[in-house]
Structure 1
């Protein structure tokens, strides 16, 4: 499904259109390398925090 939506967005961008709710998401990810590093660290921290109770309790 993700590949299909990506292909649709690339081939016919006007069909999906620019939505107002996507504006804040676009500001969070500007494409700079620092953004990628920040999101990687945020995701790793979240996964670590979710796994911590299982590691300590197990």
Structure 2
């Protein structure tokens, strides 16, 4: 296996939606609100531990 084929990245940070709030899709608005609610209005730093915890939380339902 070549080095370029090996990728140990846990996740990819998506780009932020561009444009004013009213130009976002309903889905994009809902995700932004969801993240605001679960982070108590803060802007949490994305870490592998937090991503895993969020995945576990979402998969639990």
Task: Confirm or deny a common fold (TM above 0.5).
Answer: no
Greater RCO between the two (CA within 8 Å, min separation 6)?
2
TM-score after normalising by structure 2: 0.35
More helix by share: 1
